[in-house]
A and B are shown apart, each in its own frame.
Chain A
């Protein structure tokens, strides 16, 4: 399905994210992406430093899946999980991880936990979200 991030999602993602990748055999590796380089409707680019990238380098080289959630207060206020496949380009000392999103989930505890937001039409998704939250990161 097609992912179309809402404006609220784009705002929250920009504060940084926790990324989870896994080896082909299912061993997870978590890193923190403190710098988000760009966000489009279905793509997020993380600018990773060498140490941030080193944690996920091996797993990512054999398995492109990336799952991420928003760091800091986003863990409470931005109840989303984003999934897609990632590719890496090195630019100087920075590793640009581009994640092309293909799945989007609500993680609010309760009846909406696990809801596939990417399966809703974009307008419906936005209205649904607006009915729950409108706050943006400070």
Chain B
């Protein structure tokens, strides 16, 4: 059973609060991969990573047919945060039953806290030529982490947990 360390939890925060930009990687059910960078990231309990569903397209489609998912540190890289988190994810969208459960967490507890992430943590540090013009959050992706491996130079693939 995975337990995110305090160091990992500090890294898995929005960059404006000292966290790291991450890559969210998914695949269609028949094996076509997809990868996109994400700014809105947080952790919950000891084995959940949260990502805002703000402009997800293919990622969202993939998760609806295949929950296998990876979150990897993108930036800064080589700063001691050389981690890849692997597990199963779902997009808790608005409209899900409040008591819908995903590995021990419910729609209500996730959306109550992170359902308006733009308001909670405005993207003040994001450059104006990259930031979105209007927030459009439709849910929160929750990754139930089952495995953590390294992407440290020389140790890529080493299982950490």
Our verdict on whether A and B bind, yes or no, reads yes
- Partner-B contacts on A (CB < 8 A): 16, 18-32, 34, 49, 51-52, 54-55, 63, 65-69, 71-77, 79, 81, 83, 107-111, 113-114, 132-133
Interchain CA distance A32-B25 in the complex, whole Å: 13
Contacts of A77 in B (CB 8 A): 127, 130
Contact across chains for A114 and B70 when beta carbons are under 8 A apart: no
Q: Nearest CB to that of B30 among chain A residues?
A: A26
Within 8 A of A (CB), among B25-75: 25-37, 39, 54-55, 57-58, 66, 68-70, 72, 74-75
A136 to chain B, nearest CB (A): 14
Using a Cβ–Cβ cut-off of 8 Å, how many residues does chain B contribute to the interface with A? 47
Contact across chains for A24 and B31 when beta carbons are under 8 A apart: yes
Contacts of A72 in B (CB 8 A): 74-77
- Partner-A contacts on B (CB < 8 A): 21, 23, 25-37, 39, 54-55, 57-58, 66, 68-70, 72, 74-77, 84, 86, 126-127, 129-134, 149, 151, 153-158
- 7 residue pairs bridging A and B, Cβ less than 8 Å apart: A28-B68, A65-B33, A72-B74, A75-B75, A109-B54, A109-B55, A109-B132
Contacts of B74 in A (CB 8 A): 18, 69, 71-72, 75
* Residue in A26, A52, A72 with the greatest tally of chain B CB atoms within 10 Å: A26
Which of B131, B151, B158 is close to A31, meaning CB atoms less than 8 Å apart? Answer: B151
